[in-house]
Amino acid sequence: MILTSYLLVLNLWLFFLMGYDKAQAKKHKFRIRERTLLLIGLFGGGLGGLVGQTVFHHKTKKPRFFVSYIFGVLVILGLYWIRKEYQ
């Protein structure tokens, strides 16, 4: 339950940050640091990052974001696998 809640919050947070950052970019206003977006993706928010990239067409030309978010999805799968194996 805690793991699912953590991952849900992280993925929703990154999804909304991607949308916010895209809107800010269009208005030439204050942006979210790339490092922040990458780290949230690495710590399990990868699915939210991938969906955010697709929905908002944001950071799609920067391969490190795609790689980071894929790794984040692998982290999610790994955490669920570990939980299943040792439950």
d(CA 65, CA 42): 10
Hey, what are 68's tokens? Answer: 């980071």
How many domains would you assign to the chain?
1
Q: Tell me the average pLDDT across 39-46.
A: 94
Q: How far is CA 17 from the centre of its chain?
A: 9
pLDDT at 86 over 90: no
| pLDDT averaged over every residue in the chain | 95
Residue 87 has pLDDT above 90, yes or no: no
**At residue 67, what is the residue type?**
V
Give percent of the chain above pLDDT 70. Answer: 100
d(Cα 31, Cα 8) in Å, to the nearest integer?
23
Task: Tell which residue, 56, 53, 55, 49, has the closest CA to residue 76.
Answer: 49
pTM for this structure?
0.91
Give SS3 for 66. Answer: helix
Assess whether pLDDT exceeds 90 at residue 28: yes
